Amino acid sequence: MIKVLRMKPERLDSRLHSALYKAGEEFFVDHLLCSDKLIGVDPFKESERNAFLNLKYRENRKFYTSYLRKKDYTSVLVLLNKHHKMPWFIKFHQKIFTQYGESKFYELLGEMLTYVDHHKPFRTAYQRLLAMGSNTFTMMSPKEQSRYSRLPDSFTIYRGVCVKKPITTITEKDSNVLVGHSWTLKKGKASWFATYHGPRFTPQPFTRAILSYQIQKRDTIAYFIGRKEHEIFIDPQKIDLSKIQIQVLPS
């Protein structure tokens, strides 16, 4: 027989109230140190669910405070939930760079990028992060570095997007939405992003499209394979918008 651990019902810790959001008929917590999209809470009365989230928050807060005091920023990033990692890294990037130096800073940045599902909110910040040093090569793992070194001097990259209206060219205004840092070597992967990923962030109605671009290797920053997306990370400012090819996908 499995013994179920019971917890004494508690009111939700007041420090978590600002992190409450409602989904359907339930409230959930999305806090830097305590984020749970599966366990609903009752902010208005005592409950075991509240007690569980309170315990999780208080324990994580102890670790967080200790890591900050020791300037152990790597452990802080391990502690945080996936979608909180990059915002925290951006906020504390100066301290991280000072503590670890250029090589380790870029190594951590490369790891953080693999956790980001939607890069657009961070594009401006990326430019600041990338400008912190000069050796962005260490953003890649040894295996990624090896594959990157074997890429030709020029190759085609792809990006799957959703656009509000059919387009045949990309203007400077369009580029703010459509031309980001993250592209792929695989056209099929770009098609997947246009079909399944883009619609999550684009209100209806929209048109799905694949962008393709012949890029010089010297204008790329990194090659990531950790998520099996064959991702080419670039500086969008080096893209010649007039040379982007657009393939509209069937509805």
Residues 242 and 174 in one domain: yes
Of residues 170 and 27, the one with the higher pLDDT is 27
How buried is 104 (Cβ within 10 angstroms: 0-12 exposed, 13-18 middle, 19+ buried)?
A: middle
Find the Cα–Cα–Cα–Cα dihedral 30, 36, 38, 41, rounded to 10°: -70
What are the backbone dihedrals phi and psi of residue 143, each rounded to the nearest 5 degrees, phi first? -65, -40
Residues 132 and 181 in one domain: no
Residues 163 and 222 in one domain: yes
Contact 77, 89 (CB under 8 A): yes
In a domain, 7, yes or no: no
pLDDT of residue 5: 62
Q: Token pair of 181, please?
A: 């840092």
Lowest-confidence range among 31-35, 159-163, 174-178, 208-212?
174-178
Residues 88 and 40 in one domain: no
pLDDT at 75 over 90: yes
Q: Domain limits at 124? A: 71-137
What's the pTM?
0.89
pLDDT at 2 over 80: no
Give the span between the Cα atoms of 33 and 91, in whole angstroms: 15
pLDDT of residue 196: 87
In a domain, 8, yes or no: no
Of residues 204 and 193, the one with the higher pLDDT is 193
Tokens 């500086």, residue located: 235
H or E stretch at 234:
strand 231-234
Structural domain count of the chain: 3
In a domain, 192, yes or no: yes
Contact 157, 213 (CB under 8 A): yes
Domain boundary among 89, 114, 137: 137
pLDDT of residue 3: 46
In a domain, 124, yes or no: yes
Q: How confident is the model at residue 124 (pLDDT cuts 50, 70, 90)?
A: very high
Q: What does the mean pLDDT of the chain come to?
A: 91
Residues 84 and 132 in one domain: yes
Question: What average pLDDT score do residues 14-31 get?
Answer: 93
Residues 133 and 231 in one domain: no
Domain boundary among 88, 107, 137: 137
Lowest-confidence range among 33-42, 58-67, 98-107, 161-170?
161-170
pLDDT at 248 over 50: yes
Please give the span between the terminal C-alpha atoms of the chain, in angstroms, as a whole number: 53
Give the span between the Cα atoms of 217 and 233, in whole angstroms: 11
Residues 191 and 153 in one domain: yes
Residues 40 and 53 in one domain: yes
In a domain, 56, yes or no: yes
Q: Token pair of 220, please?
A: 């790329």
In a domain, 2, yes or no: no
Residues 164 and 206 in one domain: yes
Residues 62 and 77 in one domain: no
Q: Token pair of 9, please?
A: 């019902």
Give the span between the Cα atoms of 40 and 27, in whole angstroms: 5
Residues 120 and 180 in one domain: no
Residues 119 and 157 in one domain: no
Report pLDDT digits (tens) over 217-246. 999 999 999 888 999 999 998 999 999 999
Closest CA to 69 of 106, 95, 94, 34: 95
